[in-house]
Amino acid sequence: MSVRRLARAEIQPATFAFTEENERWLAAQVAKYPDGRQASAVIPALWQAQKQHDGWLPKPAIEAVAARLGMPIIRVMEVATFYTMFNLEPVGRWFIQLCGTVPCHVKGALDLKQVLLEKVGDQQHVTPDGNFSWLEVECLGACCNAPMVQINDDYYEDLTPDLLIGLLADLAEGRTVKPGPQNGRRSSEPLDAVKTLQDPALFDGSLVGGWRKRFDAAASAVPADGARDASGPGDPKAAKPDAGRAIERPVADAPAQRAQNGEAPIKPAEQAQASDPGKTSVVDPAPPAPAQPPQSSKSYVATPSKPEDGRVAAGSLGTTPISGAPGQGGPGRRDGSDTKPVGADPNASPGVAPKEGR
Ligand code: FES
């Protein structure tokens, strides 16, 4: 995590103003938002100010953006100091952001960091010729091509220490460099060989609508009389053999079954008894449930909001029982004071039996 502070006062410019071209660009950005919402353009405004000022944001630029968007300076300062995309100190002509997050780390980012320390110096320091500065940042979203760096606006991926050294030399000498993977692979394709998506039919359009053709072919195989082909698409297979179908099973109590099992046939008198309703146990129907009072849809009991709705009013006896007084709530209510033994001395010491006859 980098420290986010404004640059030293002595390197801050005295003023900042957008160029005419950038002012026009900014007006177009602000116009994208409704009236009164021009603060929504604060990030593009800061970004353009940074680009105009050699890749870093001086304090006067932050103040100029605040004035242009009608925002308190502190609000713009909060944005500028929060996002690492805004550089608060001068950067080199080639500003290198090294990804140090786990995928890049395990693929050799530490080796790249060592190269930068040796060739460029400490983080956030510009080389004496003004060409380079660097900063370690979090994932830049090119993990498939780890390890990688971002230099100004471009990504350089699949790096090794030697490739990075060569890249820095080319930039310093003004030679053209090619962004993207530096090891020859295209995009984030497999490194050694393309092993997937190689069927030409995937790309010549011949598979478009293939499912429809198969469906139509199966439908045309149905005979004109409506009888279905057993293997046709409209003949669903049951999940179980008897699912939803009538299955013939031997009747367990049939005479033939009983004879086969060596059992005596059931006599007609036993059959008549079995079917006689008078011999059948009858269960009385359950008594009807008592009528319930109407239920509130609320799952709680409302608390009275007025004192007179169930609360003790000032000056009244209220509902708190007074020791020794008769119960307030009728015969069913007791507060325990009436359990005191009759004749007990209220001043007696605990554990001392009351004297008789007092
Ligand atoms: S971890 Fe390095 S680009 Fe994602």
Domain assignment present for residue 59? The answer is yes
> How many independent structural domains does the chain possess?
2
- Regarding the beta carbon of 149 and ligand 1, being less than 6 Å apart is answered no
pLDDT confidence of residue 288? 65
The domain boundary residue, chosen from 181, 209, 235: 181
Q: What is the pTM of this model?
A: 0.56
Shared domain for 36 and 69, answered yes or no, is yes
pLDDT confidence of residue 330? 44
Low-confidence ranges of the chain (pLDDT < 70): 1-3, 223-253, 272-358
- Ligand 1 centroid–CA 153 distance in Å is 16
Pocket test for ligand 1, best of 140, 149, 156 (most atoms within 8 A of CB): 140
Domain assignment present for residue 52? The answer is yes
pLDDT confidence of residue 26? 97
- Regarding the beta carbon of 143 and ligand 1, being less than 6 Å apart is answered yes
Domain assignment present for residue 75? The answer is yes
pLDDT confidence of residue 31? 96
The domain boundary residue, chosen from 121, 150, 181: 181
- Regarding the beta carbon of 137 and ligand 1, being less than 6 Å apart is answered no
The domain boundary residue, chosen from 181, 205, 237: 181
Domain assignment present for residue 19? The answer is yes
Domain assignment present for residue 158? The answer is yes
Handedness of CA 17, 18, 24, 25 (dihedral sign): negative
- Kindly report the CATH number assigned to the domain that includes residue 13: 1.10.10.1590
- Kindly report the CATH number assigned to the domain that includes residue 148: 3.40.30.10
The domain of 30 spans 9-82
Shared domain for 77 and 100, answered yes or no, is no
pLDDT confidence of residue 287? 66
Domain assignment present for residue 113? The answer is yes
Handedness of CA 342, 346, 352, 358 (dihedral sign): negative
Closest by Cα among 102, 185, 112, 121 to 150:
112
Can you read off the two tokens belonging to residue 90? 């001068």
Domain assignment present for residue 73? The answer is yes
pLDDT confidence of residue 105? 97
pLDDT confidence of residue 190? 84
Pocket test for ligand 1, best of 96, 112, 139, 155 (most atoms within 8 A of CB): 139
Shared domain for 43 and 103, answered yes or no, is no
β strands within 125-257, DSSP E:
132-137, 149-151, 154-157, 180-181
